Amino acid sequence: VELQKQLLTAYALSGRTDSVVVLTSKLMQTDSTQVPAALAAAQSLLNAKPAKTKEAMPFLDYVVKYGDQTAKDAAATLITTSALPLLQEPQDLAGADTMLHRAVALASPTSQIAPFANYYLGLTTFTEVTTTNTGPDKAKSIAGGKQAKAQLAEEGKAVANGEEGEQTGSQPQLTG
């Protein structure tokens, strides 16, 4: 197993994502303590150009199942930083929304990533509401109005959670 871990590190450093995925999958099948390897595989997939988000999810699910809160916070950080490019043009607001909801659910409320994930979730929700509820048909739709109201309530909660973290100084500085 130790030799496999060293090989995994070599694959990750050389950018051989497919090899990282195959080897990590084998390690995960034989040993439930391979949370760091699963995080490394998820990171390799999420950092790929273009990001392989769907392929990373089984590794993140493994972290959720077997990892401690620190590992879950690390997974939330990976998910959050991977969602940020989706907010830029060309936007994938639905994809960013899904990822940020998952990050918020994973992160401990006292973690450094929680306010950051909440802030961007609020920003995403606000952007979704303002871009999807425009035009005469959408503005007059009762269902559209109720949906927008629910989304804005969620956005307000997420932004408040993000601001709360900023005031306590726990806002992380992420680059990526």
pLDDT for 42-78, tens place per residue?
998 988 888 888 899 999 999 999 999 999 999 999 9
pLDDT classification of 157: cutoffs 50, 70, 90: low
Is it the case that residue 175 has pLDDT exceeding 80? no
17-30 helix and 35-47 helix, angle to the nearest 10 degrees: 160
